[in-house]
Structures are given as structure tokens and as C-alpha cells.
């Protein structure tokens, strides 16, 4: 095999799957236990690092989700964005709206799919800065469903004023259905998603999910 073809066959496919940054290669698509262990440990290590939501405060499956993000001066990226005027980057404001929509899809689908990705953003407009100490109130409204895609109208508010808004198209699926991983990886991701979802819930107003963990063998006895 020519060297160029050999490199191409082993090319890493990088994909944002919600808050997980996952590197998928042909090595992870096999049933080899060691490779799957490497894959799951990598997911576990990076899973919470990119979360842009602190708490889910309102949830109506199939309709609406409201979450909050309080910006801390301790965020690493604020050292460079910007040294004399630290503000939340616009791409992370967009990420917060995506994650609100992502959790609305998970709750509505009762965690049937392991992955939710942002396929398209439309009419995104920024109107205000999010400074350290400010609380971004993120709202995702479910507008319509198109097969495995969901159209969301989202916005982020600061003191009831719009800081950012946009129309997002999200897609949900299982990795195994697309030949990207073995089914056990989907099971593991669903388990981790549900645990993270539970941590983000407001204890004063918990959402009693109809999610049936018996649908997912890897969750039995592990999610409380």
C-alpha cells in the first residue's frame, strides 16, 4: 500500500459530540477490550471540561429548557480573552445555547441516543458581553423535528436583556448505527450523559425523568 494511502486509512476523525471531544479512529471501532478502555477513559477524562452550563432550572420535555451559567474569573481562557477586558468568548456563548438544546433532546428522547451534535447555526446575533460575575440565562425552545434533526430557537440573557440568540439545528444518533463504535461505547456514553444530567438538575426543582434504565444494560444498578 502506498504510504499516502496508509496514512489516510488511519486518519483520525475529530468530532464534537456534545460536551465530549472524542477522537475516533478505526482502532476504536473494534471489540478489542484494551482499545475500548482507552476510548472510555479518554471520554471520562474530558467529559466535564467543556461544560458551559452550571444548572438546569426549568425543563419541559419536547418544549423548553432553561439553564444558567455563572462566569468565573478563574476560567483559564479569560487570561487571553482578554487580559484587560475579560469576557466570555462568543463561541462559548453559542456552545452554552447548544448544550441547553442538547439536554432538552436527551430528556425528551429519554436518553435513547448517545450523541447530539450541532449541525448548523443560523441568524446568530451577539448583543452584549458576559463578564466575570455575570450569570447567563440560557433558554432553548423546541421548534420542530425533521427526522433525526431538531430545530431549536435559543437565546442567552443577561439581566433579562438578550446577550446572544440564534436558531440551531441539532442531530441525535448512536455511534454504532453509523459504524463509528461498538454498541458498548454507546451504552457507556448514555450512562455518563445521564449521570451528568442528574448533576445539573436543580435539587429544589428536580425533573423526574421517565428514562427507563432497563433499556440500557450498562446502567443497571449504576445510576441512582
Q: Is the dihedral of CA 127, 139, 174, 220 positive or negative?
A: positive
**Contact predicate 98/170, CB 8 Å:** yes
Per-residue DSSP letter, 11? -
CA angle 222/20/186 to nearest 5° reads 50
In sequence order, what are the residues at sequence separation of 6 or more whose Cβ sits closer than 8 angstroms to the Cβ of residue 88?
A: 71, 75, 129, 130, 131, 136
Please report which helix (H) or strand (E) contains residue 60, including its range.
Answer: strand 55-60
Rounded Cα–Cα distance for residues 220 and 218 (Å):
6
From the CB of residue 6, how many other CB atoms can be counted at a distance below 10 Å? 9
Which one is catalytic: 81, 113, 172, 216? 81
Rounded Cα–Cα distance for residues 199 and 165 (Å):
26
Rounded Cα–Cα distance for residues 146 and 197 (Å):
25
From the CB of residue 98, how many other CB atoms can be counted at a distance below 10 Å? 26
Is residue 81 part of the annotated active site? The answer reads yes
Taking every pair of C-alpha atoms in the chain, what is the biggest distance, in angstroms? 61
Give catalytic residue positions: 81
Amino acid at each position: 500500500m502506498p504510504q499516502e494511502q496508509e496514512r489516510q486509512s488511519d486518519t483520525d476523525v475529530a468530532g464534537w459530540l456534545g460536551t465530549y471531544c472524542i477522537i475516533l479512529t478505526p482502532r476504536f471501532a473494534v471489540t478489542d477490550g484494551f482499545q475500548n478502555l482507552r476510548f472510555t477513559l479518554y471520554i471520562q477524562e474530558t467529559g466535564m471540561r467543556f461544560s458551559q452550563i452550571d444548572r438546569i432550572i426549568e425543563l419541559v420535555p419536547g418544549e423548553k429548557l432553561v439553564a444558567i451559567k455563572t462566569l468565573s474569573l478563574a476560567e483559564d481562557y479569560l487570561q487571553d480573552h482578554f487580559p484587560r477586558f475579560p469576557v466570555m468568548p462568543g463561541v462559548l456563548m453559542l456552545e452554552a445555547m447548544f448544550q441547553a438544546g442538547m439536554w432538552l433532546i436527551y430528556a425528551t428522547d429519554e436518553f435513547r441516543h448517545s450523541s447530539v451534535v450541532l449541525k448548523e447555526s443560523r441568524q446568530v446575533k451577539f448583543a452584549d458581553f458576559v463578564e466575570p460575575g455575570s450569570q447567563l440565562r440560557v433558554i432553548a425552545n423546541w421548534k420542530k423535528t425533521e427526522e433525526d434533526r431538531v430545530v431549536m430557537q435559543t437565546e442567552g440573557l443577561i439581566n433579562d436583556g438578550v446577550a446572544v440568540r440564534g436558531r440551531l439545528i441539532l442531530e441525535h444518533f448512536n455511534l454504532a448505527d453509523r459504524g463509528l463504535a461498538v454498541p458498548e461505547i454507546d451504552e457507556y456514553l448514555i450512562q455518563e450523559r445521564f449521570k451528568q444530567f442528574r448533576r445539573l438538575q436543580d435539587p429544589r426543582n428536580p425533573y423526574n425523568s421517565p428514562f427507563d434504565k432497563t433499556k440500557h444494560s450498562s446502567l443497571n444498578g449504576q445510576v441512582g
